[in-house]
Structure 1
């Protein structure tokens, strides 16, 4: 991270919009790296350590979806999609791929600045002092929060960054029903279009990895019309 409020990597092929957002972000105390293609953006990402990535989808070389996938293979950096694709399936796709937020063009610059600030506030919030090892179900589920490693029934569990965050949140509250609104706030900072469908997809994915019979889950149970519970 560079000096100032944070380093933003902006990837968008619209030169006028890139210039407008770069100036607005700098005026609000951020450092900015700007790229007009997905390939250039990935190169800048590899060379630097941005605090937030603002990412268009319809890029001339590599789609923003694929850029997000490649970043998510190596980093949990917050990604904010900024795109003209406004349909609910597109919003869901962005969140499922690992996006932290999704803004549709046209938009107000003030809203984007507020979203960036909210993302940084959320990721920089100091966690409470807790043991790095979290165990659920008499050790059936073991989470090492320092190493971000999970073992389930003695075997390593390969999780995406959002799957990991969701499972840790439920495990820290094992036995308690966690509302959908609480989970949406914990994962994405609140309810937005497509986030509920994305949450359901991640729950489904966790069940595929943990349950002997995902249709009759023993570990992650749905509490109808309210939320989910991780059974201890």
Structure 2
């Protein structure tokens, strides 16, 4: 079954060019020119990936990204003419997985689409670590990508899971923010390390007392002993 990508872009030339490149790569592609139409579709069915422009008539791409992320963890790529760091950070904090600035090469967008889909392949097929990892009251079922804190399952996003998984696998090791950016977003990500701080903040809120420590001026680590 072909993966379905939904493009929300008000410039008909851009959306048709991007659609043509993605269709050539074997993807099923739908396009609309406004966020309201896209949201009406999303309420009924989610595609396998969203590509969102920011500057849209009516509801903007940031608001659409926020709404999608409230109900779905499918990958979201934001494309925008805005190249300010604050705009990229906002997009990432609202839940996007990547941010591409206009003008861009359609081939680069296709490469990023492929990279995101590769990272979402079922991890149990990659002949890697044990299925269950425990650090005190924190338990991760890696094959199912599920997190448990004091016996209760925690609802985490894909990036929250990736971050806590890497920290659990390396308990007591301090990771720099730059290392965590690469582990969670990939080595071709160029953005602020505030994205890491935001993930940590959300995990601490969801797991009160989790021994996720700040290493001041450097990054974070997960202690073996639980916080009191």
TM-score range, shorter chain: 0.7 to 0.9
Q: Which moved further from structure 2: 100-109 or 158-167? A: 158-167
Instruction: Identify if the C-alpha distance between structure 1 residues 121 and 159 changes in structure 2 by more than 3 Å, giving closer, same or farther.
Output: closer
2:59 equivalent to 1:62: yes
What residue ranges of structure 1 are gaps of 5+ in the alignment? 213-217
Q: Cα–Cα, structure 1 residues 149 and 28, in superposed 2: closer, same or farther, change >3 Å? A: closer
Structure 1 position 208, deviation (Å): 4.0
Report the counterpart of residue 200 of structure 2 in structure 1.
Answer: 203
Map 1:1-232; keep pairs closer than 5 Å. 1-2=1-2, 6-124=3-121, 126-128=125-127, 130-137=129-136, 140-145=137-142, 148-190=145-187, 192-210=189-207, 219-224=211-216, 226-232=218-224
For residue 215 of structure 1, what is the aligned residue in structure 2?
A: none
CA RMSD of aligned residues (A): 2.6
TM-score, length basis structure 1: 0.82
- Cα contact 1:8–1:50 (8 A) shared by 2: yes
Q: State the Cα deviation string for residues 77-121 of structure 1 (Å, max 9, x = none).
A: 111001112211110111111111000111122211111121122
5+ residue gaps, structure 2, are none
Partner Cα distance (2:140, 2:179) in 1: 21
8 Å CA contact 1:180–1:226 kept in 2: the answer is yes
